[in-house]
Structure 1
Amino acid sequence: MSTPLQAEPGICVSLAELIEMRHRVREVQLFSTPGQRSPLIGLHHSKLRGRGVDFDQVRVYQAGDDVRSIDWRVTARTQEPHTKLFHEERERPIYILVEQSQRLFFGSGLMFKSVLAAQAAALIGWAALGHNDRIGGLVYGDGEFYEVKPRRSKQSLLQLLNRLVRVNQSLHADRRHDDEALSMALRRAREVLRPGSLAFIICDERALSSAAEQQLSLLSRHCDLLLLPLSDPLDHALPAAGLLRFAQNDAQLEIDTLNPELRKAYRAQSEARIARWERLAQKLRVLMISLSTQSEMIEQLRAYLNPHKPGKSQ
């Protein structure tokens, strides 16, 4: 068991940092409020999957009413046709599936990818809680899964954030990586999420395997999804730094970053990963927001959600 890291800005997170994210929710409109519409409104009030409605009242049947909604008990009692009226639920389960694996314990920008993932999860959680939604999620890493079932309570969100911090602070470069951690996490999510839930998938850009694609496709059949693949500038292009040597456990690797063919192949591999995510999002008809360690997370979300509005000065 590794010794938890002390919270160092950009390298690992603290619970206080994630709690503080609640004050930044107002800087980016994730969910709609009266008078304001967010691009995510299509997710939060999409066509209902399953019932997704609450009973409102019974009234006398009128021409055009759905005959399937006739209240036969009241009709028999009054000898006059009555129909049930429903209203759409104002809240829905929000499920935040967030990766905290050895693969994310890296960053050449403002922060490690694991920190970026934690910050994004916290912001989404506080925004959803402020929207009166039920919050739950799954923190997963290399062979470990920690689930918090959706509940409409601050304690539920704090439980998720606390677990997120504990896993984040236990990350280290020598941990053995599980290539199918995402697909296993998605499989677990499918077992607990009810139809109509909204799931945020926060994971490494390199995590998309064939098995994960299949699980995302199955999950999208009864849940709405928002994909948030994370990357670092070094995931997309090699620096011109000459001969580099890498070592992990007993494995060693030596590469010449000045080799033009190697640099071209590395970039092509990155472009193929990005294209794969884009094809998947288009196929499943879900939103995707790519996040990078290169710039501040709030600014990236604001640029996507409000592309025509200049950033607010801090």
Structure 2
Amino acid sequence: MQSEQSQFWLNKFHSNGLQPQMQELMYYRAKLPAFARHSRNLPAVSQAGPLVSKTRGRGMEFDEVRHYQAGDDIRSIDWRVTARTGKPHTKLYREEKERPVFLVADLALTQLFGSQLLFKSVQTCHLLAALAWQAQQRGDRVGGIISNGWQHREHKPAARQAGVLHLLHSLLTVHEDSFDRWQRQQKPHTMPLKDTVARLQKLVKPGSLVNIISDFQRFDEELLEHLARLNRRNSVRCFQVYDPMERELPKGYSAQPLAVFDGEQQAQLNLSDRRQRERYQQHAKARQQHQQTVFEQHGLPLTYVNSAIALEQQWSDLR
């Protein structure tokens, strides 16, 4: 049974929390001004090659100083260098270019879980939509990959609203496929994200911003190496969507144990057993600490997103 607060947000999203609809993803387009007031600190950009364009006006980023030539704009003369050398020098500026933004959504069947507000998969869709609309408003080109291991949709970065809408339509299509497989209790695909990131390395051009959204329930050294390699010439951000029950079992007083199933194994949890809850919490905490450590060792920023809290309530904390 949903709490009153959860029901409030579901009504606001026009969502059932299980399967996303286009109208709830469009909701975030109107929230961009509020998001802008809670600007995120982006990780440092590690990229090779300048963002130079011949199609847009002169940017404001300084590039270099050279000798003044006939026809140069006198407003660009560097008077300090001119005074020091005795010869006129002019400043050159690097032209601006919209930045390619890639959004990757891992809709593996492990994402089809939620104990409170939303399925993790639905929160993944919400986060991708918010990031896509934010990038589109900045003037960046938006593309990405949506995959669940069986279906795989690729979108090259495109400008304007149409590019975002095409990406969101693919998001809904792949999520519907995941939901159908989850209802049929199909065994989860082994590691769809690894294949997606390997493909991403061939699509992304240096200097891009790459957002990876997953629950990272399954990751190994090979996946982390792919991500680290991608991060050397781009700016990679990893978002882990989690459900609170994956970190701590709720207190319960029912005499009947709770049956849980991860697609491969089934277990019985006694929520009234304090020792069992403590062991569960200790195991979950150790796993989280290990995950943080290995991501940090590979230079990958990892941000946690709670599927039980409305995205706009935690947006300012998504560092």
TM-score (norm 1): 0.76
Once the two structures are TM-superposed, the CA of residue 304 in structure 1 deviates from its matched residue by 4.0
> Distance in 1 between the 2:192 and 2:277 partners?
29
Verify: 1:11 aligned to 2:18, yes or no.
Answer: yes
Query: Equivalences for 1:1-314 in 2 at 5 Å?
Result: 8-29=15-36, 38-41=39-42, 46=45, 48-54=47-53, 61=67, 85-170=92-177, 171=179, 172-173=182-183, 174-241=185-252, 243-246=257-260, 252-304=266-318
Q: % of aligned pairs identical?
A: 23
> Distance in 1 between the 2:145 and 2:218 partners?
16
> Distance in 2 between the 1:58 and 1:267 partners?
56
CA-to-aligned-CA distance 1:183-235 (integer Å, 9 cap, x gap) = 11111111100111000111004233322212111111111011110100111
Q: Do the aligned partners of 2:43 and 2:235 also contact (CA within 8 Å) in 1?
A: no
Report the CA distance shift for 1:246/1:153 in structure 2 as closer, same or farther (over 3 A). same
Once the two structures are TM-superposed, the CA of residue 155 in structure 1 deviates from its matched residue by 1.6
Q: Do the aligned partners of 2:210 and 2:234 also contact (CA within 8 Å) in 1?
A: yes
Once the two structures are TM-superposed, the CA of residue 99 in structure 1 deviates from its matched residue by 1.6
Unpaired stretches in structure 1, ≥5 consecutive residues:
1-6, 30-35, 63-80, 306-314
Report the CA distance shift for 1:277/1:90 in structure 2 as closer, same or farther (over 3 A). farther
Q: Partner of 2:174: helix, strand, or coil?
A: helix
Amino acid at match of 1:112: F
Amino acid at match of 2:39: S
CA-to-aligned-CA distance 1:76-114 (integer Å, 9 cap, x gap) = xxxxx9999441534210000012121111101211111
CA-to-aligned-CA distance 1:227-246 (integer Å, 9 cap, x gap) = 11010011111234452334
> Distance in 2 between the 1:40 and 1:25 partners?
16
Q: Do the aligned partners of 2:121 and 2:175 also contact (CA within 8 Å) in 1?
A: yes
Report the CA distance shift for 1:82/1:145 in structure 2 as closer, same or farther (over 3 A). farther
Q: Do the aligned partners of 1:228 and 1:290 also contact (CA within 8 Å) in 2?
A: yes
> Distance in 2 between the 1:58 and 1:243 partners?
69
Report the CA distance shift for 1:125/1:249 in structure 2 as closer, same or farther (over 3 A). closer
Amino acid at match of 1:151: A
> Distance in 1 between the 2:271 and 2:301 partners?
35
Report the CA distance shift for 1:119/1:219 in structure 2 as closer, same or farther (over 3 A). same
Q: Do the aligned partners of 2:28 and 2:129 also contact (CA within 8 Å) in 1?
A: yes
Q: Do the aligned partners of 1:97 and 1:137 also contact (CA within 8 Å) in 2?
A: yes
Q: Partner of 1:289: helix, strand, or coil?
A: strand
Once the two structures are TM-superposed, the CA of residue 140 in structure 1 deviates from its matched residue by 1.1
> Distance in 2 between the 1:180 and 1:247 partners?
18
Q: Partner of 1:149: helix, strand, or coil?
A: strand
- What RMSD over aligned residues (CA atoms) do the two structures have, in Å? 3.1
> Distance in 2 between the 1:139 and 1:263 partners?
35
> Distance in 1 between the 2:53 and 2:264 partners?
59
Q: Partner of 1:206: helix, strand, or coil?
A: coil
Q: Do the aligned partners of 1:10 and 1:112 also contact (CA within 8 Å) in 2?
A: yes
